Structure 1
Amino acid sequence: MKLEQVVLRPYALPLKQPWRAAHATLGERRGVLIGLFSQGLAGWGDCAPLPSFSGAQDRADTFAALERAAQSLRGAALDEGLAGLAAIDNAQARWAVETALRDLSARRDGLPLHRALGAAAASQVAVNAAAGPLDESCASRVAAARQNGFDIVKIKVGLADADEEARRLRALASETAIRFRLDANRAWSEAEARRFLDAVADLPIDGVEEPLAQPTLENLRRLQERCPFALAIDESLFELGPEKIFAARATRRLVLKPARIGGLAATLRLARQAAAAGMEVVITSVVDSAIGVAAAAQLAAALDPARAHGLATGPWLARDVAPPLPLRNGALVLPDGPGLGLVPSGEFAEF
C-alpha cells in the first residue's frame, strides 16, 4: 500500500476558559494534523506539543521533526513507514506519525484501531470528568459532571495554599457524592504534600498525581505508605526512570500521555510493564483535539476500557478539528467504523 499523498494541517483551537495547572495556563491548543492518503483511504494523526513541558523552541523542533517525517513518507509504502518509526527522534512527532499510519492500516483491514492493536472489541472507554482548578466555580462544574453520569472528577490542585485547598475540597465533598482525582503537577514540598494528604485522607479520593515538586522514589514511597488512595507518577516518569519506578513501586499508579511516550506501541509496551509490576495505568491527554483524543481512547480501549482514563477534555474546547467522540454516562463512546473512526471536518478537511 503506497502512500499517495501526505498533508500537514496546522490548527489553533481556543479554549472556552483557561486551563490552569501549577506551572502553566493554557488558553488555546496548537498543533498540526498529519494525513496519509492511499487507495481512497486516509489515516490521521495529531501532533500537539504538550504545553506543560514544551517551550517555544521545543514546539518548533517538534513541528520540524514532523515535517521531516512527512517528507520521508511521501511515496513510501505503508509498511516502510511503520518500519521507519524508530528513526523519528522526536517522541511527539513519532506519536502523530504512528497514529496516522496505524489508522490507515486499520481502515485498510476494516478494523477499529483498538482491534488492530490486538484487543477485544470495546464499545466505550470509561473516563473521568475534567473540572479544572479548585476555584469558586469548581463546585458547579463538579455538580454538572455528576448530573452527566460521571463517577470520578479530576481537579487541579497546587494553585493555592495547601491548607486552603484541603478546606475547599472538604467543603466540595460535603456537597456532592463523587470521587475526586487530584493533580498537583509537582506543586508541593514534601511537608506541604503531607499536610494536604493527611487533611483529605478520609475523603472519597481516587488518587493524587505528582504531589511533589522534587520527587524521588524514596519521598514518594513515604507519602504513598501514609495514603489510603493511589499516588501517581506522570511528568516525573523519565526523570525517575521507568525501570526504577517499576522495581521500587513507590506509587500505585502510572499516568501515561502517549504523545510524550512516543507512540501507540511504546505506550502499550510501557503500560504492560507497569501492570506486570502491579501498578495501575491511566491514559490521559492535555485538552487534545478530537483526533488526538480518539487515538488515546483507542489505546485506552486496548489496555483497560473499564478504568477511568483522563480523556474527557473535549468540552473545554470552543471548537475542534472534528466532531469529538460522544460522552455518555462517564464514558467516551467509540465509533463503530474502522481505524480511529473519525476524520477532520470543515476547514481542516480541505486539501
Structure 2
Amino acid sequence: MKEMFKVKVNIQPYTLNFKFDAGTSRGVLRKKETYIIGIQSDTFRGVSGLGEAGPLKGLSRDDRPDFMSKAKVIIEKVEGLSFAEDWQEILLAIQELPQIDELPSLRFGLETAFLDLIHGGKRKIFSCGFYDQRQAIPINGLIWMGGKKFMQEQIEQKLEDGFDCIKMKIGALDFDLECQLLEMIRNRYSAKEISLRVDANGAFNLQEALGKLNILSQYDIHSIEQPIKPGNTAEMAYLCQHSPVPIALDEELIGVIHVNDKKTLLEQIKPTYLILKPSLLGGIAATREWIDIAENTGIGWWMTSALESNIGLNAIAQFASSLMPTLPQGLGTGQLYHNNFSSPLTITNGSLTYEPQKPWSIPYLFPSGFQ
C-alpha cells in the first residue's frame, strides 16, 4: 500500500509590475495580479512546494472578484484529503476536487506546488531535460504593441539577442504599419533564417479577416494566433480551410473542459496549431488532453506562459520539456517585470535554460514555517 500524506496550503496575492506599457489588442498592461501557493507536509519536513495561480485579466475563466474566497473553499477541501506520493494520482485527486473547473489557474498552481513538494521542494516539477540536463528550450522573442519606434527597438533587440523565431502582436495599431514592420524583417532575413509568428488576439472582424491573412502571407508568416474572436466556430473553420497563413487557436480553447468537447472543436475547426496556456486551460492534466487529441489528429502545438512570475514560468517550461517539443515555445515572459522572483531561468541566444548556480529568491510571502 502506498504511503499517504496530508498537507497544509497557503495562498498569497502578489502584484507583478511591468517594466513598460505592454500593449495588446485587448489594451495596455501595466501590472499583473497573481497568487503564490505554498504547500507543506509533515511527511516532507523542512521543505515547501510552490505553485502559482495566475488568472489573466479579461480572459481567464477565474478572473473574478471572488477568486480568493472560492480558492480558500477548495484549499480547505485539499487540506482534508490524504494524497499518495505519486504525481499521476495527485493530478487525478486535484481534478476531482469540487468546483476546481471554475478556477483553472488554481488547479495548475495546486498541481505544480504538489509536484514541487514531492520532488523535495527544489522547484523541480518534472523529470525533464530542461531541469535535469540543463537542456535549452528554443523560444520565440515577443514583440509587444506600441509606437513604431518602440516596436522597431524591440525587434532589433530580439534579433541582436539571437532569436530566430519572432512573435509580433498585431491588431491594435494601423495594419499598414504592422505590415511595414514585418516587411522590415523579411527584407533582411528569409523565412529559413527567421520564423515570424503573429498574434491578433481575435482583433480582426469576420469581414476583413481573410483579406488581411492574404496580405500577411506576403511575408512568409509561420502562423497567426486567433485571427478572429473565439466562439465563431463556423467562421474560424472557414478561415482555417482558406487562409494562406496557418492558423493557431489560443483563446478558442479557453473554457472547453470535457474531452469530447475538445475533440469536437478540433474536428470542426481543423486548425494547424494549438497554443497551450496551462493556467488558462486548467493545468497539467487538462493541457495533456489537448495535446493527446492534437497529436492524434496531426495538429501541431506549442506551450506559452500567460504572464506568470518565474514560479509559474518554471513549471510550464518543465512541463513543456517533459513532452520533448519540436517547435519554439512561448516562454520568454520572465523578464517583463521589475519585481519578478530571482530564479535560475535564463534566456541566452533565443533559448530558455535552467542555470542551477543562480539561486531562487522568494520573498517572505507566507507565515513562519513556509520557506
Q: TM-score range by the shorter chain?
A: 0.7 to 0.9
CA contact (8 A) 1:148 1:330 kept: yes
Residue 77 of structure 1, CA deviation: 3.4
* 2:48 paired residue number: 42
TM-score, L = length of structure 1: 0.86
Determine which of 17, 22, 32 is the counterpart of 1:19: 22
CA contact (8 A) 1:162 1:193 kept: no
Residue 283 of structure 1, CA deviation: 0.9
Residue 34 of structure 1, CA deviation: 0.6
Residue 144 of structure 1, CA deviation: 1.0
Deviations 1:8-40 (A, max 9, x none): 222111101122221232111111101112322
Q: 1:277 to 1:141 in 2, by over 3 A?
A: same
Runs of 5+ unmatched residues, structure 2: none
Answer yes or no: is 1:301 the counterpart of 2:321: yes
Task: Work out the number of aligned pairs and report it.
Answer: 345
- What RMSD, in angstroms, separates the aligned Cα atoms of the two structures? 3.1
Q: Which moved more, 1:144-153 or 1:223-232?
A: 223-232
* 2:229 paired residue number: 213
Answer yes or no: is 1:86 the counterpart of 2:102: no
* 1:186 paired residue number: 202
Residue 3 of structure 1, CA deviation: 4.2
Paired with 1:333 and 1:349, the residues of 2 have a C-alpha distance of: 28
Q: Which moved more, 1:248-257 or 1:215-224?
A: 215-224
CA contact (8 A) 1:152 1:180 kept: yes
Residue 120 of structure 1, CA deviation: 9.6
Determine which of 69, 75, 78 is the counterpart of 1:73: 78
Residue 68 of structure 1, CA deviation: 2.1
Paired with 1:308 and 1:98, the residues of 2 have a C-alpha distance of: 24
Residue 344 of structure 1, CA deviation: 5.0
* 1:52 paired residue number: 58
TM-score, L = length of structure 2: 0.82
Answer yes or no: is 1:260 the counterpart of 2:275: no
Q: 1:322 to 1:32 in 2, by over 3 A?
A: farther
Residue 184 of structure 1, CA deviation: 0.5
Residue 127 of structure 1, CA deviation: 1.1
Q: 1:163 to 1:143 in 2, by over 3 A?
A: closer
Answer yes or no: is 1:311 the counterpart of 2:324: no
Paired with 2:109 and 2:230, the residues of 1 have a C-alpha distance of: 31
Q: 1:4 to 1:276 in 2, by over 3 A?
A: closer
Residue 52 of structure 1, CA deviation: 3.4
* 2:267 paired residue number: 247
Runs of 5+ unmatched residues, structure 1: none
Whichever residue aligns with residue 51 of structure 1, its letter is K
* 2:159 paired residue number: 146
Paired with 2:179 and 2:207, the residues of 1 have a C-alpha distance of: 14
CA contact (8 A) 2:38 2:366 kept: no
Paired with 2:59 and 2:182, the residues of 1 have a C-alpha distance of: 27
* 2:9 paired residue number: 6
Q: Helix, strand or coil for the counterpart of 2:183?
A: helix
CA contact (8 A) 1:291 1:342 kept: no
Q: Helix, strand or coil for the counterpart of 1:32?
A: strand
Paired with 2:15 and 2:194, the residues of 1 have a C-alpha distance of: 33
* 2:354 paired residue number: 334
CA contact (8 A) 2:344 2:360 kept: no
Q: Helix, strand or coil for the counterpart of 1:171?
A: helix
* 2:35 paired residue number: 32
Paired with 1:63 and 1:125, the residues of 2 have a C-alpha distance of: 34
CA contact (8 A) 1:201 1:228 kept: yes
Using the aligned pairs only, state the percent identity.
26
Q: 1:238 to 1:29 in 2, by over 3 A?
A: closer
Q: Which moved more, 1:99-108 or 1:328-337?
A: 328-337
Residue 336 of structure 1, CA deviation: 5.9
Q: Helix, strand or coil for the counterpart of 1:149?
A: coil
Q: Helix, strand or coil for the counterpart of 2:331?
A: strand
